[in-house]
Amino acid sequence: MKFIIPIIILSIILTNCGFKPIYSSKNSNFEIIEIVNENENKNSFAVEKMIMSLSNQESIKKFKLEMNYKQTFSTILKDSKGDPSKKKLSISVNLVIKNEGGNILNSKNFSEEFSYDVQSDKFNMGQYEDNITNNLNNKISNDIIFLLGTLNDN
Q: What is the mean pLDDT of residues 112-116?
A: 95
- Give the whole-number percent of the chain exceeding pLDDT 90: 44
Phi (first) and psi of residue 54, to 5 degrees: -105, 10
Instruction: Decide if pLDDT at 70 tops 90.
Output: yes
What global pTM score does this model have? Answer: 0.78
pLDDT value at position 23? 54
Residue 109's DSSP bridge partners are: 94
pLDDT in tens, 72-107: 999 999 988 888 899 999 999 999 999 888 898 999
Top-confidence residue, 26 or 122: 122
Which pLDDT belongs to residue 153?
58
Could you tell me if 87 and 119 are in contact, meaning their C-beta atoms sit under 8 angstroms apart? Answer: no
pLDDT by residue (tens digit) across 16-35?
666 555 555 456 778 888 88
Average of per-residue pLDDT across 41-70:
89
Q: What is the pLDDT of residue 19?
A: 53
Within 8 A by CB and 6+ apart from 82, the residues are: none
Domain map (residue ranges) of the chain:
25-150
Half-sphere exposure of 56 (CA within 13 A, CB side): 15
Angle between helix 122-150 and helix 42-53 axes, rounded to 10 deg: 40
Q: Evaluate if residue 59 carries a pLDDT over 50.
A: yes
Which CATH architecture does the domain made up of 25-150 adopt?
A: 2-Layer Sandwich (3.30)
Mean predicted confidence (pLDDT) in 121-126: 91
Q: Looking at residue 1, what is its pLDDT?
A: 65
